[in-house]
Chain A
Amino acid sequence: MKLLITLLSLTFFSCNDHHHSSLKEKLHKLDQSMGGKGPVESEQILKDRLDDFSYQKSRWNKKNDFYVLERFDKFKIGKCQQCHDSSKKIPNSASNHKEVSLLHANKEVMNCKTCHNTKDTWNLHMLNNEKVSINHPYKLCSQCHFEQVEDWSHGAHGKRVGGWHGKRVIKNCTSCHNPHKPQFHNQMPKVTPNFLKYKR
């Protein structure tokens, strides 16, 4: 009787084959069945949310389109053209923009002129002096941080806005990192951990 029960239960338990196929196999199978396409865009679920942001298309990643948040209207100091107007003459002094402290790379590697051009303050410039828009600073950052930018363009670094579905709009490098002082800050954790009440 006991043997019968064991045998019976074995047949039941062995039926659950689907529990043991690996995730990778499942992915492969489903990929193939869908012809390698992504999910169906059934509705513009996130249109409202993305409307809160201003973004531009990036051509960095040739394979998959994505959009980056604009940076131009985010500057707190003020619009550059208030001073940098072609009509005005500005003394070339190192004491300008004293409020900005550069804590990025060390002095031998980087100074203001590495990225900024006093003659064309609307834009940044690469090592080969090619112009870079302030809305696409990643081109500049990739000169040194090419690994991070590569990761960022594919989603392994940085933040996406809007949602996981639909148009891929991601934050720019400078949306999170202050280019002059990129380090993250220290703070207290936002909540007391639940486990704290059990610790003596």
Chain B
Amino acid sequence: MVRNFIHFCSDSFKYSLSGKNLYHVWMGTLTFFMIVGAFFYSKQVTHGLVVTGMNDYVSWGLYISNFTFLVGLAAAAVMLVLPAYIFSDKDFHNIVLIGEGVAVGALLMCLAFVTADMGGPERAWHLLPGIGYFNWPESMLAWDVLVLNGYLALNLFVPMYILFQRWQGKTPNKKVYLPFVFLSIFWAFGIHLVTAFLYAGLPARPFWNNALLGPRFLASAFAGGPAFILLLLGVVKKFSNFKVDAQIKSKLALIITVAAQINLIMLGSEIFKEFYTPTEHSISAFYLFFGVGEHNALVPWIWTSITLNIIATVTLTIHKFRSNPKFLYPSCVILFIAIWIDKGMGLVIPGFIPSPLGEFVEYQPTLVEVAVSLGIWAFGLFVLSVLVRLGFAIEQGYLRKNQNSN
């Protein structure tokens, strides 16, 4: 069996290296960004995090913003898994592997962003229980390490098993993978709740310290993630001859719409709480939405996000537009961008401004941060491209054991 598995790995590896010219151009571009990112990361390793725009006032920036958003993207895979296995929807069954591929790519990006943000990445072994000191269950970050790696393991194991079986021409045994699938459904909610609790559990930051943060994270994840998957399926349909069922698009679009609506309702609730009777604790919200004094760097960002969000949600709500790809795809794009801004710049940064003692110091990411972030995104997309191609190829019979790949 081991030899088979090695054969499967080498076959997959060979398959990922081959493809149309467009594929090579795409992968090449991604590789370029990865190399640039690595170069700038080396500067960060040499000089320290002083090369970023972060400081003692705003101590988390672009890296953790992206991390927060990407955990949501990873959790969104559950939105494909749930209908496929709980509701036994045949259409979704075919594309579940895509969701898990997205989850793996997003999780690897999360881990990369956290490593990039760490002051001492060579000391990451301090987290390992036994040889290090793992402060669980006290530290929410320890919980996060646990759940993210667990989710990664789940999303690696299940598709790997299914694909391995299919590659051999066998049917995957439900008894082997189904329990893990069910586990991953609950685990997906878990990872994003834990990440939300990271923020919500800090009484020092009143902007984050509210009960709605966890549910808000889930709502925005389940709107933005499936939007990304929908776009991904569009790309797959356009650039390959893999078959994607038409029903999936409308079902996914419905999921996105409902999640986006819930997200907007939660946003409304947060805005009401902060601005109806503002207290001193609302000052971060004032900074974000209206600016305080001359400090207003985030105001255009958040209003863009809200506008795009509303446009996307309204468009998707109307059935006529939702079923029309000319409106559906752009809506997904702008929804994705809106949620990225909302969860990244619109959540992490205002939590630090003003500081707990009232100081206003604004944040501006530097070239190093942008380059490294782009590099990590490129890495994630690289992994995603490899996995999605592989998934489709094996699922639809193009890649089999003892056969030349397409």
Contacts and interface: CB of A to CB of B under 8 A. Distances in A.
Which interface class (under 10, 10 to 19, 20 to 34, 35 or more) fits A? Answer: 10 to 19
A150 to B, nearest CB: 33
Interface string A3-33: 0010001001100100000000000000000
Interface string B186-198: 1001100000000
A198 B186 contact: no
Interface string A187-200: 00000000100101
B359 A195 contact: yes
A9 B359 contact: no
Nearest to B357: A195
B183 A1 contact: yes
A195 B354 CA distance: 13
A9 B137 contact: yes
Interface in B310-369: 359, 361
A2 B189 contact: yes
B15 interface: no
Given A1-B183, A9-B137, A12-B137, A198 B190 contact: no
Looking at chain B's contact residues, is the secondary structure mostly helix, strand, loop, or mixed? Answer: loop
B280 interface: no
Given A198-B57, A200-B294, A1 B137 contact: no
A2 B57 contact: no
Interface in A168-200: 195, 198, 200
Contact of A2 (B55, B138, B186): B186
Contact of B190 (A5, A13, A195, A200): A5
Interface in B126-164: 137-138
Contacts, number: 16
A2 B190 contact: yes
Given A12-B137, A198-B359, A1 B294 contact: no
Contacts of B183: 1
B137 A198 contact: no
Contacts of B189: 2
Contacts of B57: 198
B139 to A, nearest CB: 12
Contacts of A198: 55, 57, 359, 361
A16 B190 CA distance: 23
A9 B190 CA distance: 12
A24 to B, nearest CB: 21
Contacts of B361: 198
Interface in B12-69: 55, 57
Contacts of A5: 190
A152 B11 CA distance: 84
Nearest to B197: A9
A11 B189 CA distance: 21
Contacts of A9: 137
Interface string B268-300: 000000000000000000000000001000000
A151 B328 CA distance: 75
Contacts of B55: 198
A6 to B, nearest CB: 10
Contacts of A2: 186, 189-190
B54 to A, nearest CB: 13
Contacts of B137: 9, 12-13
A16 B186 CA distance: 27
A134 B374 CA distance: 74
B359 A1 contact: no
Contacts of A12: 137
A68 to B, nearest CB: 38
A200 B361 CA distance: 10
Nearest to B136: A12
A16 B359 CA distance: 33
Nearest to B185: A1
Nearest to B362: A198
A177 B99 CA distance: 76
Contacts of A195: 359
A1 B189 CA distance: 11
B45 to A, nearest CB: 25
Interface of A: 1-2, 5, 9, 12-13, 16, 195, 198, 200
16 contacts: A1-B183, A1-B186, A2-B186, A2-B189, A2-B190, A5-B190, A9-B137, A12-B137, A13-B137, A16-B138, A195-B359, A198-B55, A198-B57, A198-B359, A198-B361, A200-B294
Given A5-B190, A198-B55, 11 more contacts: A1-B183, A1-B186, A2-B186, A2-B189, A2-B190, A9-B137, A12-B137, A13-B137, A195-B359, A198-B361, A200-B294
**A-B pairs with lowest CB-CB distance, top 3:** A12-B137, A1-B186, A198-B361
